[in-house]
Amino acid sequence: MITRKQYLAFQGNSEERSTMHQAFYEQFAIEPIVSYIAGKFSPEELVKAHREDSALNTIALNRWDDAARVIYPWIDNELVKSTGQLWSLSAGVCTCKAAANILISRAIAKPVA
Full pLDDT tens readout for the chain, 113 residues: 999 999 999 999 999 999 999 999 999 999 999 999 999 999 999 999 999 999 999 999 999 999 999 999 999 999 999 999 999 999 999 999 999 999 999 999 877 76
Q: 36-65 burial by CB neighbour count: b if 16+ within 10 A, else e?
A: bbbebbeeeebbebbeeeeebeebeeeebe
What pTM was computed for the model?
A: 0.94
